[in-house]
Structure 1
Amino acid sequence: MGPKLHPLILGLLLTLLVETVGSCPIGFMVTQNRTCIDIDECNDPMCGKNANCFNTVGSYYCQCVPGFRAPTINFTALTGRCEDVNECLEKSDICGPNAKCKNTIGSHNCSCFEGYISSNGEKYFDGTTGVTCKDEDECSRHPPVCGRNGTCSNSPGAHTCSCDAGFTNSGHTQAPCSDIDECTTDKTICGKGGSCNNTPGSYVCMCNAGYSNYGNASAQCVELNCDQYKPPNKSEETSPSIIDLLSLMRNNCMELSGNKSPGQLNGEMVLEKLLTKMDDLLSGMPVEANGKVTALLTTVENAIRLIGPQMKQPQTRMSTVHTEVELLVRRDRAPPRGTVSMSTEHVKLDTDWETAAGNGTYPGFAMASLVSYKGLESATNHSFPNETGQSFQINSKVVSAIVSNPNTAHLGKHVNFTFSHLQSTNESHTCVFWDAGVWSTTGCQKAESNETHTVCSCAHLSSFAVLMSLHEFKHDPFELQVITWVGLSVSLVCLLLSIATFYFCRSIQGTRNTIHLHLCISLFVADLVFLAGISSTQNKGGCAFVAGLLHFFFLAAFCWMCLEGVQLYRMVVLVFNTMFRPLYMMAVGYGIPAVIVIISAIINAEGYGTDRHCWLDLDKGFIWSFFGPVCIIIIINAFFFIITVWKLAQKFSSLNPDLSSLRKIKTFTITAIAQLCVLGIMWIFGCFQFEENSLAMSYIFTILNSLQGALVFVMHCLLSKQVREEYARFLSCICTSEKKKYSEFSTNQSSGGQASRSANNTGESQI
């Protein structure tokens, strides 16, 4: 049977079956024609809503849609049903890194973690489509995620907000920053003398009368005690210069109490004025009385505490002739921390900001300063107890350490001072501080010491110095300085007149007047350099040059004095043969001093210039390069002086017997004293002022030496008949316009001048 017979046979069988049974098999139904046709089971939801139905002849089968799964691929309602597939569990990395998966009925969706965005820009995506999550730069968002007052820092998947001062995000590092109301947070933020006004990111303290925050609007208002700058009622020991200092600081304090704005304050200018007035004080008058020293140091400490918070720069250095200061200021809401190191030329201070600010209420600023006084050490050499009978000498600069902490009497941590010695020595050193007018060792101890430095460790702050166990040298009184300045000024004028006289007056030219001319030139230059540069110690090279000039010209003056003595001896004793060759005079007058100075400079160049004066160093006997030749010349001139006075006494005794004895004695005394001064023998008094209690000798030496130029002018010009005649001729030339009278006067005087020259050449004294 062929294949075409099978349907016929099947149909025949069905017909027979229907006719026999009267119904259709499962999956079929009987029609009106009593035939069986296939039933489409898919017309009814046999498979459920999550499956697809497929009809077959006499039956059907189901298959699950994607995202669902049954026990078998093909099933019927009787053999299975579709259940959801959880892709997030079955495939954990379906969404890729930095993303999370969420299952849905029949599917899933992926979303990026916070801080990441999908590569297709969609919030949700299918993990099977190749979409990935990448980092999002939150810091580029607009508006800014941290707000206007925060700084954003991006990181993979996140960001961090750092708030500006005065703003906060309450510890939530990714939250925007908002303003802090400091006035509400801290009721005492402006102190008891101020009221607080909140501002965005900050606050402003408005100070009451008598209080100030030194122009720093966010600092506490502190009470100002302007009365501490009032001059004392009993001001016997308060110099006018200290009163000027007090007046300056009182005015500044009153301005601060008026609550000046920050732009109106200028601490640098006030500090400069303070140092200028201190210079006037220390240079114009030695501060010798203990009360004056205490007043000075106390005034300076109070002034620096007032000036410090007004400074605009965190670090300031200023230096003048007699004062050097370094000042540090810190302004912050929190007290500063860390080490503090300050230094001047001779002293270094090491402490910390905790000590400078103190442990009390922090006002919003802290200050530390180191002040060094140049020259004050000599004025305080006498200010220490002499209980052991031992003498002391200050061997360092006096300094004041000043901090904003008002309680420095007992410090929790020691502060260290490193002092450079003014004189290198192996003598024992002691650390002291200024206590009520005297040096005291209480609270200070020597940490270490060598030949050049001493380190002092102290439990309090004040004015410090290092004492050296040596012979005491006292500072010259102010009166001696006045005598020196006035005397030398007068001498300079007189020496200038003398130089003009000896150079331009031709009628008195001769060997002796040549000596007078160069003596006056040497003294003039020496006195002028002394006045202008003896205290100019700021530049070491310049100071050494000044010392060298003084060494040379003072020695030259002595050499010309020696020639004056020799010439006087030859005129009075030998009478004849009194001429000197000019070359020999120049060799003695300038050559010998030049040789001495050159040799001295080669042997010890560092001996020129000291910390206090531009003169020869007293250390290691270098002063003898000047003092030795001076002593020799003084001895020679003393010999010539004795011989000259003896011969002059004989000449006076042979004068006209009609002269009274009193007139003879008077003339003799004036001549002897004048000649004594001219020959420089008054310097012999200087040999005795290096001993203790030699104040009288110091006065005698200073008066005679400073007026030497004036005495030269009086003796050799005013008391000389020839010179007076030349002066009269000069004045008559100015006062008269009649040429004839001038000519007659000139002719008459010339004959007198010739007679004078004749007398001079015979060696007769014109005194």
Structure 2
Amino acid sequence: MDIDECLGPSPPDCGPNAKCINVPGSYNCTCIDGYEPSSGKANFTHASENSCQDIDECQGPSPADCGPHANCTNVPGNYSCSCIDGYEPSSGKVKFTHASENSCQDIDECQRNATICEPHGNCINMPGSYMCKCSWGFGKSQKDTSQICTDIDECNKTPDICGPKATCINTTGSYWCECRAGYVPSNRNTTLCQELQAPSINSSPEFEGIKEMCRNFSLQNVTLRFNALLNSTSLWEGGDKWEVGLAVTVLLQSVEWAALATALRSPERTTQNVTTESLAIQTRLVTGNCSQHSEVFMLRAHEETMDVHCATVTGAATQGLGAAAFISYSSLDAIISARHLSEGNLLAGGKLEKSHLNSRVVSGAVGDGRPIHLSRPANFTLRHRQAKKEEEEALCVYWKVVAESSSWSPDGCTAVHTNSTHTTCSCDHLSSFAVLMAATTVTDSSPLTLITYVGLTLSLLCLFLAILTFLLCCSIRNVSTSLHLQLCLCLFLADLLFLTQVTRILTQVACAVIAGLLHYLFLACFSWMFLEGLHLFLTVRNLKVVNYTSASRFKRRFMYPFGYGFPALVVAISAAVNPGGYGTSTHCWLSLDRGFRWSFLGPVCAIILINITFFVLTLWILRNRLSSLNADVSTVRDHRLLTFKAIAQLFILGCSWSLGLLQVGPAATVMEYLFTIVNSLQGAFIFLVHCLLNHQVREEYRRWLKGFQMFSTKSQTYDLSMSAVPTTSTKTVRGPLLCSNTSL
């Protein structure tokens, strides 16, 4: 009998990475897969004769085929293929051994990481890599080795970019030009700015000698001269709208220039104040550097203030002396309002078209009056002429001269704080400013609004019919219809509340209350949907427990406390944590600040995920048990159908709010329309799924229609026979069958 030396008590020593193979009357040592003998001898009998060394499949005469954009990596006894940097496997398998198993596809870094080139950079995908290109108006500094795109100062790069009669003001990513005092923009191509041409105004005696007077007189005399100019009724009432606008532009620029000029001529007076019936001026001089002064200066005129940083004043200094001026006009807002607001002469549409001035006109200037772009914004606090209403929004605007016309513009100004009496504006340039009040409750006739009204009206009608069906149909009364009924009631009340309050002007407190009620009702809808999923799962898990006892036990012990208690608990906690999160200036819903919307989206997402789990388990149980049960068990078949309807309901309610989270990026408009359509038609979908597609409900509808027809026919016959055949008997007419007790 052959001796198996490999399995004997003293097996031969073949060495590492080798194996012993028994042959009749002897044995051989051979290298295992991935290794080869160092001597080239395939078979040997002892480790001293040979050694097994690793085969480098990546560098051999027939290297492994890993395909394009992949690297071969040798490992002891084997090898693996992996995609190179910038590529990823199409199948998701990181390691593979042949190109037929996988392919390496380019990674789109731009889509995967939207902020990979931030800030101010555009990402361009390339094969195996990507490239960042600075946005227009930004570039990379040659001195800085970082990849950050910095703003290009077009004004320093091209000093004459605005022409000889205009000042270039650099902005983030761009620039803009503003004509100097005495010039206005021109529509002609030969020059950017042209000299003011308003003979009827410039020839007015009030304008004569102002600049000459500024060289010789004090700020008091200059202010009195402009006061007389503002009180000249013939000047402001004699011209048309264009002439008055041009006169206002000349006046504002002249007062700024005169205030700064007279302040610089009196260096011994650090602060000057002048107040007349038409305007008030305060000037401030800064000598030396800002370390000797306060970081921020406050200038006050009338009841308005201007906060400007010291560096802004010193940066515009002339011969080492910096000047700042703040002017407040008592009656100029009435002159501009009558001419430039009632006739709609406004650059920006929308809110500005239906607004009114609600503050004094103020002006701020530094240096020699030339417009400059501020490295640090200046703040203006303006008092309202009339108390701000709840439905109004405060807009900060400045007097802008464009194409030989003047109007209010919100560019570069933001309202950082507002209350009923004051508004604080933060602006990145100095000019003349005011506060406009715009109504926020403007009737919207957009397609989305029309879709909302039509969809919600249809949903309310369908939900009302569904509620009547669940109340009156005795043949379908069970725990499931009770759950459907509560869901329809909550959704009906939520849609009705939303539809009735959306077109009404509400106070802040009323808006917060409505937002809390909507939060509660929509959460209640999802709570009852969760109970539907749980009830289906418990019933299918115990298919024999389908009697009224188990159903009523589930109803009494669990349904109502959770269905109405859980959303109340969430709303109470949310209101306690962030009471100001209910209601915004534009919508009676949850605020987006501090992530407060997740007090609604968090429970909704959790309920959707739990219900999906319930439905998957329910379908799995039905799949395993229906094959072994009698096909005549109608209750089991009904639960299978009810499960699919519940899944459809989950999709209807959950899909709409999921679409709300996707309203970002290029497809935001499409998602907004889908969100509005699906959300406004939820009631119609529920009526379709649970009523019109229910065979028992359709049969009940037919029975009702036949009963009403028979009742109508018998009533007519009975009325005709009453006059001819007197009788004392009681006649019973059978109508549609309704439940005697309609409480579920």
TM-score bracket for this pair, using the shorter chain length: 0.3 to 0.5
The TM-score normalised by the length of structure 2 is: 0.40
With structure 1 as the length reference, what TM-score do the two structures score? 0.38
**Larger gyration radius, structure 1 or structure 2:** 1
